[in-house]
Amino acid sequence: MIDHTADIGFVVRANSVAELFTAAAQALFDLSYDLDAVAEEASARVRISADSAEELMVRWLNEIIFLMETGPWVFHRAEVTWGADFSLQARLFGESGNPVRHPSCRTVKAATYHNLSVQKKSRGSWEARVLLDV
């Protein structure tokens, strides 16, 4: 975790860019509520594109936040397929949120561009550093 005054962040690492975006979603889920209380009863599909990996990361996480706020969805897991030219398709697995069964650990308002990085590292691995506005 990365602590910051009104923000909280995370660093995720993966062997592929699709796994990196999956891990970022998982970090967001884990920061938002107790995953042990979430079943995989339904799924939502998401398609997103952007002009850069950083923009795609912010759009991806903000789309998940939007779905959790307006759904109200709680998600347990994501499956991401990387497309061409900074695009992805994903399936998010979870259920309809219930405030009694799924109390919020913290309210995440948005993913930000502040200190954001999405980088391909040596030997083909990937790393992302993300700050979330809470």
What is the pLDDT, as a whole number, of residue 114? 93
Q: Give pTM, 2 decimals.
A: 0.92
Nearest to 56 by CA among 2, 105, 128: 128
Classify residue 26 as left (phi > 0), alpha (psi -120 to 50) or beta. Answer: alpha
Residue 105 has what pLDDT? 78
Tokens for 14, please give them: 């993966």
Count how many residues are written for the chain. 134
The tally of domains found in the chain comes to 1
Range of the domain at 15: 2-133
Paired tokens of 98: 């219930």
Supply the CATH number for residue 65's domain. 3.55.10.10
Instruction: Note whether 9 and 129 are within 8 A (CB).
Output: yes
Mean pLDDT by 10 residues, the chain (134 residues): 72 97 97 91 96 98 95 92 95 91 85 96 93 93
